[in-house]
Amino acid sequence: MMRSMTGYGRGECAKDGFKFTVELNSINRKQSDISVNLPKEFIELEPRIRDEINAHLSRGRINAVIAFHRARQGDGPVELDEKLALAYLKAIQQLQKRTKLTGSITIDTLLRVPGVLKSTESTMDAEAVWPSVEQSLKRALGQLVKMREKEGKFLAGDLTSRLDTLAAGVAQIRQVAPSIVNHYREQLHTRIKEAGLDIPLDDERLRKEVVLFADRCDITEELTRLGSHFQQFRDCLKSTEPVGRTLDFLSQEMNRELNTIGSKANAIEISQVVVKLKAELEKIREQVQNIE
């Protein structure tokens, strides 16, 4: 199923008193660009996290935030910094002496001082927590991929509709194209009559001029290539593989063929259709930028 490059996913896993949370969000980017934000004690897990993301996503700017905290607060050991407490006590006593201010200094006063009493957490081994991080990451990736597929389905429908519009316009051009040479021949004959020139209508020079014009304005090859591009585009929309780059290339080639048709056709009827088709194609090219 075709995917968008925009999405969000979140996963978590609680184990051994800790809860691991992974949040992923992705936006458009031509290449794969992964940013991983995780606690420094788990920094060695970053290559594994990147490999797991790359296994599921081929393009886009992906931002991964991995966090952990105790599932239950207050269960960890408590540490008293006695040296810091005594230093505070000494400083307070000296301040009282200098300012001659009265007041009692209680144990509660010292324990409220920042840093004197703090909880400590046992050291966590990155290798030991990887299964929990991996499980959270896979859950987040599952949500992200599901969201990207949902938006991709919407984009496929929109692109199919716009491609139908292009195909209808090309069919209109194909119908008009054969009459261009006949119209030019009639115009040429009319101008010769109006100019009063004594040139037979079957003159070799006139026929050669018509043939040269027909060759210059022949758009058969361009129309054939456009038909091929349309079919390839439709095939890509049905593919289960990442097709964003291919669709982008095909869109550029369609634009090239339309430009050539517009410059060669030499007919107002075709030029007007080409302008409309290029406007529609520009919308397709914008949409394609968001496809993985």
Identity of the residue numbered 237? L
* pLDDT, averaged across the chain: 84
Parallel, antiparallel or unpaired: strands 60-70 and 32-37: parallel
Give the pLDDT of residue 133.
93
What would the pLDDT profile of 254-290 be if each residue is shown by its tens digit?
999 999 888 877 778 888 999 999 999 999 999 999 9
Give the pLDDT of residue 267.
75
Instruction: Quickly name the fold that domain 7-73+126-147 has.
Output: Ribosomal Protein S5; domain 2 (3.30.230)
Checking if the pLDDT of 159 tops 90, the result is: yes
Give the pLDDT of residue 92.
87
Q: What is the mean pLDDT of residues 117-136?
A: 78
Give the pLDDT of residue 128.
87
Checking if the pLDDT of 155 tops 70, the result is: yes
CB 284 within 8 A of CB 162: yes
Checking if the pLDDT of 164 tops 70, the result is: yes
Give the pLDDT of residue 68.
84
Domain boundaries, the chain: 7-73+126-147, 78-119, 149-288
Give the pLDDT of residue 250.
96
Of residues 85 and 230, more confidently modeled: 230
What would the pLDDT profile of 40-95 be if each residue is shown by its tens digit?
889 999 999 999 999 999 999 999 999 987 655 545 566 788 888 888 888 888 88
125 token code pair: 């081994």
Checking if the pLDDT of 120 tops 60, the result is: no
Of residues 192 and 236, more confidently modeled: 236
Checking if the pLDDT of 138 tops 70, the result is: yes
| pLDDT tier, 203 (very low <50, low <70, confident <90, very high otherwise) | low
Q: What is the mean pLDDT of residues 139-168?
A: 95
CB 260 within 8 A of CB 139: no
